């Protein structure tokens, strides 16, 4: 599965299909699924199969994985046809960053205009 399953991790359970989700893409390294509480008309999450807590836990051996995640996002966004109008990618890291699930994930939000700064 690409690393140890963390039993109390909701995203590890989604990877192992113990918790149902609307998976839109999967390969040997990552899966993408719709966010259960969407903040935009399009809102999905891309996560590595390997349980990595947050960006703080990334090291050199994960660099290819992070690059792969962004390349998957680019391809999905293009396939889904909202690459031209634009979109937002978000990584919340740690308590002050608003991270609620301790398995690194990248939010992809689209289908509406976003403001900046995020607040
Ligand atoms: P965070 O706040 O950690 O950056 O984002 C966690 C995201 O995971 C939230 O947007 C939340 O809606 C989503 N989420 C939490 N639990 C589940 C779940 O069981 N299924 C799905 N599809 N999304 C979830
Ligand atoms: Zn996990």
- Residue 91 CA to ligand 1 centre (angstroms): 12
pLDDT of residue 6: 84
Tell me what pLDDT residue 7 has.
84
Please identify every residue annotated as catalytic: 105
Distance 56 CA to ligand 2 centre (A): 15
Give phi and psi for 34, each to the nearest 5: -70, 140
For the domain made up of 10-110, the CATH class stated in words is: alpha beta
Q: What's the mean per-residue pLDDT of the chain?
A: 96
119 pLDDT higher than 90: no
| Residue at token pair 């192992």 | 16
Per the document, the length of the chain is 119
Mean pLDDT on 42-59: 98
The residue nearest atom 8 of ligand 1, judged by CA position, is 35
Query: What pLDDT was estimated at residue 93?
Result: 98
Q: Which one, of 64, 53, 44, lies nearest residue 6 by Cα?
A: 53
Tokens of 28: 């040997």
% of the chain surpassing 70 pLDDT: 99
Q: Which residue has the tokens 């609620």?
A: 100
88: left (phi over 0), alpha (psi -120 to 50) or beta: beta
Is the predicted pLDDT of residue 25 greater than 90, yes or no? yes
Q: Which pLDDT band holds residue 4 (cuts at 50, 70, 90)? A: confident
Question: Residue 73 has what DSSP assignment?
Answer: H
Tell me whether strands 23-26 and 88-90 are parallel, antiparallel or unpaired. unpaired
The sign of the CA dihedral 108, 60, 9, 1 is: positive
Name the CA dihedral angle for 68, 58, 91, 46, rounded to a multiple of 10 degrees. 40
87 close to ligand 1 (CB < 6 Angstrom): no
Calculate mean pLDDT across residues 90-104: 98
pLDDT greater than 90 at residue 87: yes
pLDDT score of 66: 98
Q: Where exactly are the structural domains of the chain?
A: 10-110
């Amino acid at each position: 599965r690409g690393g140890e399953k963390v039993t109390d991790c909701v995203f590890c359970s989604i990877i192992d299909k113990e918790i149902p989700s609307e998976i839109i893409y999967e390969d040997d390294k990552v899966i993408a699924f719709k966010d259960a509480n969407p903040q935009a008309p399009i809102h999905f999450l891309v996560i590595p199969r390997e349980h990595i807590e947050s960006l703080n836990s990334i090291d050199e051996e994960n660099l290819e994985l992070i690059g792969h995640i962004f390349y998957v996002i680019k391809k999905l966004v293009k396939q889904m046809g909202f690459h031209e109008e634009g979109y937002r990618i978000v990584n919340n890291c740690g308590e002050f960053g608003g991270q609620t699930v301790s398995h690194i994930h990248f939010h992809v939000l689209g289908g509406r205009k976003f403001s900046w700064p995020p607040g």
